[in-house]
Chains A and B, each alone.
Chain A
Amino acid sequence: MEHTGPISVEKPFDIYRTLYRIVNYGGLIAIILWGFAGIEYKGIMQTARGTVEALLRGFVRPDVAYLTTMTIDGLPYAVLETIAIAVAGTFTSGILAIPFALLASQNIVGPHVSKVGKFIVTAIRSFPELILALIFISIVGPGAPAGVLALGIHSIGMLGKLFSESIESMDMGVKEALESCGASPFEVLFRAVIPQVSPELISYTLYRFEINMRAAATLGLVGAGGIGAPLIFAIRTRVWPRAAIIVIVLVVTVTVIDAVSGRIRKRLV
């Protein structure tokens, strides 16, 4: 019998699915509304317009003289110091992350210990580097070494996690082969595990270096060395041509480092 009228298809009504959706979407919207409710909009300051104009003028006519000041007070020195902090901090964390990563790798220490290791790594990651920088400033005094330490410790969090992921996905046959030769755990580590995962480890470390360049640029804001200190000073004293040149140089430096590091990473893996 040919059916000619409109075909109606019942859509089954699943109460749990509907509720689940309401809770999810409703919850999300509620959280966003809750967020907005707490942000006080005080209105743009009277001076904002003038400030923006001055700021833009600064970008049009940046303080080039600062860029060519080759003394310790010049911009080149601050840039170099920023890079140095990032390099030293990244290297420190790259080395320190290895034992943490091993501790977090299930195929090295077993399921129970690795859970603890993973928690430690996550915990380290949750500590903002700026707070670490402030703590280290109170310990070793203001300056670049505090910045190096802050980056060195904070980056363990991310690197430890990434390292342990690549250790967990490595070929375990090689470990077995080394053990069959009578290798000790350290020999297995240095002659089987690390040689296998080293390109990934180096690649992740370079990636972290790119992130640390940005972080190092802000450390100076709290007195831990680098380009951040003259920048915050220029902004607070509203010397816009100088703030502008620092921002421009920062953007260029970070872009160049990203490009170089990205190219090396592509060749590595």
Chain B
Amino acid sequence: MEQIVVPKKHNLRRNLTILLVAALIIGSARFAGFSIVGTLSGILRGGRLLGRMFLSPAWSYAPRVVDPLVETIRMSVVGTFIGALVAFPVAVLAAENFIRKPLISRPLRFILNIFRTIPAMVLASLFVAVFGTGAFSGVLALAIFTFGLISKLTFESIEAIDYGQVEALMSLGANQINVLRYAIVPQILPQFLSYTLYGFEVNVRAAAVLGYVGAGGIGQVFEQNLSFRRFDRVGVIIILTFFVVLAIDFVSSAIRRRLV
């Protein structure tokens, strides 16, 4: 049978993309000094340490972990609450389909974006420098971080609402406050609450480590024990924190599923 000859496929673009991405990844790994061999040998060497952390943790230390853990949760609650409280009005102002004043919404969005680029840990270190160590600095950092997160998600939700309801109210002669109260709030409230809970989950995880820079919570105890190389206690802290975070995640995501 004769051979069928098919013109070659031109996928220069695709091949170049693959090559570029591969180069970026390999270059990055090398730049970061990351190697699989090094990691594996490190894990073999470090295995003993992991054993001390997780195989024989100092359970007697557990009661002294409870208070800082509770403080961590409190920090998250307060930080989330303040952040969400401020986020709502700001999100309304930043949504382009409601106020319709680019002079307000544009700069607001710009500022929100900047807030979202600064990690909570960096904020916390700055606040510790200004306000001193302790939970207060941590709460402030969390509040600002949550504010950035929730307001972005919320203004995107506002922009995606069913605009027919707004028009219906306007046709009745409603003013902007009426529209907000009867068209926008009812539509986005479940989503807003869901985002707030999501922010809370993120915050619990963040709060657990903020103490490392002195901003209160379990992280502070963690840092102390780590610097004294009390790995048996570090193990206890990690295990307990892990279960608390996991429990909060489960409860919160169960509520979120019911909300939306």
Contact = CB atoms under 8 A, between A and B. Distances in A.
Partners in one complex: yes
Contacts of A235: 125-126, 129
Interface in A220-241: 221-222, 225, 228, 231-232, 235-236, 238
Q: Which 6 A-B pairs have the closest CB atoms?
A: A139-B46, A35-B77, A140-B42, A87-B28, A144-B32, A38-B74
Contact of B42 (A55, A139, A243, A258): A139
Nearest to B74: A38
A70 interface: no
B118 A250 contact: yes
B205 interface: yes
Contact of A35 (B25, B81, B134, B212): B81
Nearest to A122: B249
A218 B141 CA distance: 14
A228 B126 CA distance: 12
Nearest to A82: B32
B246 A122 contact: yes
Interface of A: 31-32, 34-42, 44-45, 48, 51-52, 55, 80-81, 83-85, 87-88, 91, 122-123, 125-128, 130-131, 134-135, 138-141, 143-145, 147-149, 214-215, 217-218, 221-222, 225, 228, 231-232, 235-236, 238, 243, 247, 250-251, 254-255, 258
Interface string B53-91: 100000000000000001101111110010000000000
A85 B208 CA distance: 22
Contacts of B212: 130, 221-222
Contact of A145 (B38, B81, B250): B38
B114 interface: yes
A128 B38 contact: no
13 contacts: A38-B74, A39-B75, A40-B135, A55-B130, A88-B29, A91-B28, A126-B249, A128-B205, A131-B222, A138-B231, A140-B42, A214-B119, A247-B122
Interface in B1-33: 24-25, 27-29, 31-33
B78 A32 contact: yes
B226 interface: yes
The interface residues of chain A, by DSSP majority, are classed as helix
A236 B129 CA distance: 7
B32 A147 contact: yes
Contacts of A35: 73-78, 81
B45 interface: yes
Interface in B93-121: 113-114, 117-121
B92 interface: no
Interface stretch (B158-166, B168-176, B179-187, B237-245): B237-245
A39 B122 contact: no
B49 interface: yes
B197 to A, nearest CB: 11
